[in-house]
Amino acid sequence: MNIRPSEDSDVRTLANLFTESVHDLAVGHYDSKQRTAWAPQPPDLDYWHERLTSLHTLVAEIESQAAGFISYELNGHIDLLFISPGFVRLGIATALYSRAESILIKAGVTNIFTEASLSARAFFGRQGFHVTEEQSVSVRGALFRRFAMRKLLDSAQQGVAPDRYSAMLHNGR
């Protein structure tokens, strides 16, 4: 597996991966109306271009095929983590998360947080996150149950001044 920062040319691939992931992997947790609201088909590529531009994204590739991606902010927010349906339970999300976590630790982040879907709660629990709040949110007219989750990082893992890494982080590395 190769993990690399995303490029502008990845937008269509990542938007399609997200859409397939939601419609396939979230089936047991969200109904068809919810999945359609979460991931409209076809995906709006202008929306995705704008959304990904504001985030740092790492892409996992297997034999040059995108198998998953994670998007995060330098304040510790994990915004997106989606694996292609053919590649689940192979440790890809764990590898992506670990890479993002290392970057955030080097940036001086002391806690990492996300809003986990019902489908991802167990994954984040396995990474050491705990639920801080159960939430109900409306997306494009559909209601979703999700969990605000947080992982406090050990201060022993800190130690590198954020500014030393700002250029590297800007490139998603």
Ligand X SMILES: CC(C)(COP(=O)(O)OP(=O)(O)OC[C@H]1O[C@@H](n2cnc3c(N)ncnc32)[C@H](O)[C@@H]1OP(=O)(O)O)[C@@H](O)C(=O)NCCC(=O)NCCS
Which residues make up the interface to ligand X (CB under 6 A)? Answer: 21, 25-26, 81-83, 88-94, 116-117, 119-120, 122-123, 126
**Residue 162 Cβ, how far from ligand X at the closest point, in Å?**
25
The amino acid at residue 11 is: V
The amino acid at residue 90 is: L
**Residue 20 Cβ, how far from ligand X at the closest point, in Å?**
10
Nearer to ligand X, 88 or 131 (CB): 88
How many whole angstroms separate alpha carbon 68 and alpha carbon 2?
Answer: 11
Report DSSP letters for 122-134, one per residue. Answer: HHHHHTT-EEEEE
Nearer to ligand X, 83 or 112 (CB): 83
Nearer to ligand X, 108 or 115 (CB): 115
**Residue 69 Cβ, how far from ligand X at the closest point, in Å?**
10
Nearer to ligand X, 137 or 161 (CB): 137
**Residue 160 Cβ, how far from ligand X at the closest point, in Å?**
26
**Residue 140 Cβ, how far from ligand X at the closest point, in Å?**
16
Measured from each CB, the residue nearest to ligand X is 93
How many whole angstroms separate alpha carbon 68 and alpha carbon 83?
Answer: 4
Nearer to ligand X, 115 or 158 (CB): 115
Give residue for tokens 């001086």. Answer: 108
E-only strand ranges, the chain: 2-5, 56-62, 65-72, 77-83, 111-117, 130-139, 142-152
**Residues forming beta bridges with residue 134, ordered by sequence position:** 147
Coarse DSSP helix, strand, coil percentages of the chain, rounded to the nearest 5 percent:
40, 30, 30
